[in-house]
Structure 1
Amino acid sequence: MWKARLGLLLVAVFGSGAGQAAECRAERFEGESYTVCAVDMVRDDLRLFLNSAETGTPLGSFGAIEGKLKAEGKTLVFAMNAGMYHADRSPVGLYVEAGQEMRGLVTRDGPGNFGLLPNGVFCIREGRADVIETLRFARERPHCRDASQSGPMLVIDGALHPRFLVESDSRYIRNGVGTSEDGRRAWFVISDRAVNFHTFGRFFRDHLRVRQALYFDGKVSRLFAPGLGRSDIGFPLGPMVGAVIDADAAVD
């Protein structure tokens, strides 16, 4: 039964048009609402964004990414914040963009959500994307074209993070990513209301049925989804993830 429901979800989220990229839609689960953006890694051009190539300073906003892409003849069709960052907006953990490692992997525990082990890495490779638990990533060292480390893991091999509490009163608007076993699909999710970790993790495990999912952030969680008329604003961001198409394709 759940496979049938997931199949309907994929059709609804991806749509039937082969030219469409990173389709976003609303989903409800256990009385809570979420916005889900689905990316097909074979079809779509998914990238991480951090700094301006001209100034070397953080882009900080979806609008800045749009400006960068416009100069390349590209258009941003979806984006969200994609990992925790320091006050200067530099990544807390591993960060790789276009094959260049800008910050190294952090394997120790520490304060805050990032240090709530196990945490993980979102890894983009040719034709696939994967959420990989950090210690496994350290052992296997996959080659990622783009990568962002964050934490905690929401779902690890089909199980919720062991530290999540059902009745936790720590509630925020939260966002994260889950990936399919074959790496072809990535689901980017942001809650529409404040939820705790356990509720958010269950959405990935029990509704999307993914076996690996990673938390990106809370409080600052934001989404760019022009198909929904949405471009969240707020404090400047660090790492961001987005799907890109040729500007001509966006007009067709």
Structure 2
Amino acid sequence: MKRLGLAVIITMLAACSEQPAGEPVMRARLDGKPIAAATAAPKPDPSPSASEAPSACRQVVFEDVPLTHCIADPAQHRIAMANAAADGQPFGSLAAFAASTDAATIAFAMNGGAFGDDLKALGYYVEGGERLSEFNRGDAPEGNTNNFFMKPNGAFFGSGGTWRVLSTDAFYATVSDRPQFGTQSGPMLVIGGKLHPEIQDNGPSRAVRNGVGVDAKGLAHFVISDAPVSFGQLARFFRDELKTPHALSLDSKVSALWDPARGRLDKARNGPIIVVTKREKANAE
């Protein structure tokens, strides 16, 4: 047998050496062409990601417009409001809120109500049973085109597993006890099974919009459009498909949804946030 040269021996020893931990393992084909390297496992993405739990939201199409429809069930969920962190500074976005909470406890969250430049509620707002802002029953300031002032506007509110949507005037006339949560927005989309009197069947205004309605069984239906939609189309979906006697527009143009189960986290500048948590997770804490 011929004696191996020194260079060959060194090469063989190097090939048997262990690669440093975490370094790419370099491989080559017999023809000398490289093979994709196997690298160390990537670091986990710190952003909220999809979980194994089923989503409370589903995608639907209504009048050729894609929508996402989320259901809060009193038997499975709790609802609360969130606007600011412990230091009093408004979250300003669903992403900031998501970073402050345990995603495993969240069924979904959605922007929830009119807000001003300071990101605080423009009208009625109750969080944790504390009323932080009174009803705004005024008219729009000159030059202000905020849909909030398209009367009648209304409120989404509730205590425990009883949730309701009412116009502002109806709330004043019939509700005496302070709810655990509440948020005022506008306009109303559906009032007593009929569309808001100023909403056209299919008006020219198109935007990404979201709203909420409660059906006869007490389920709260949250809907966000995944493409620009008219007020009329969104209102008809609540009235005709979801059968909610009252439905409220939550916002336009800044509408956003966080659905941890699907890994969805919309980017927008938000004020009040409606948070739907899982009852079993909340009870376990």
TM-score of the two chains, using structure 1 as the length reference: 0.83
CA contact (8 A) 1:81 1:239 kept: yes
Q: Is the strand fraction higher in 1 or 2?
A: 1
What's the offset of the Cα at 1:163?
0.3
What's the offset of the Cα at 1:177?
0.3
CA contact (8 A) 2:94 2:256 kept: no
What's the offset of the Cα at 1:21?
7.8
CA contact (8 A) 1:66 1:75 kept: no
**What are the superposed Cα offsets for residues 39-65 of structure 1, whole Å, 9 maximum, x if unpaired?**
002321211110112x11101222332
Q: Which amino acid aligns with 1:241?
A: I
CA contact (8 A) 2:95 2:267 kept: no
What's the offset of the Cα at 1:69?
2.7
CA contact (8 A) 1:44 1:244 kept: yes
Structure 1 counterpart of 2:71, from 28, 31, 38: 38
What's the offset of the Cα at 1:144?
0.9
Partner of residue 170, structure 1: 205
Q: Which amino acid aligns with 2:112?
A: A
Structure 2 distance, partners of 1:40, 1:22, is 13
Q: Which amino acid aligns with 2:262?
A: L
What's the offset of the Cα at 1:24?
0.4
Partner of residue 113, structure 1: 147
Is it true that 1:77 corresponds to 2:112 in the alignment? no
Change (3 A) 1:65 1:247: farther
Q: Which amino acid aligns with 2:69?
A: V
CA contact (8 A) 2:94 2:268 kept: no
Identity %: 37
Is it true that 1:68 corresponds to 2:68 in the alignment? no
Which structure has the greater CA radius of gyration? 2
What's the offset of the Cα at 1:246?
7.4
Structure 2 distance, partners of 1:206, 1:95, is 29
Structure 2 distance, partners of 1:241, 1:128, is 15
Q: Which amino acid aligns with 1:51?
A: A
Change (3 A) 1:157 1:234: same
Partner of residue 123, structure 1: 157
Structure 2 distance, partners of 1:167, 1:63, is 33
Structure 2 counterpart of 1:87, from 117, 127, 131: 117
- Cα RMSD of the aligned pairs, angstroms, is 2.1
What's the offset of the Cα at 1:242?
1.5
- Residue 147 of structure 2: SS of its match in structure 1? coil
Is it true that 1:198 corresponds to 2:228 in the alignment? no
Q: Which amino acid aligns with 1:37?
A: C
Structure 1 distance, partners of 2:214, 2:153, is 15
CA contact (8 A) 1:74 1:247 kept: no
Partner of residue 57, structure 1: 89
Structure 2 distance, partners of 1:138, 1:230, is 37
Change (3 A) 1:29 1:98: same
**What are the superposed Cα offsets for residues 11-52 of structure 1, whole Å, 9 maximum, x if unpaired?**
xxxxxxxxx786100112222221001000232121111011
What's the offset of the Cα at 1:105?
0.8
Structure 1 distance, partners of 2:216, 2:170, is 15
Gaps of 5+ in 1: 1-19
Is it true that 1:48 corresponds to 2:78 in the alignment? no
Structure 2 distance, partners of 1:218, 1:187, is 17
Structure 2 counterpart of 1:159, from 174, 194, 210: 194
Gaps of 5+ in 2: 1-52
**Residues matched between the structures, number:** 225
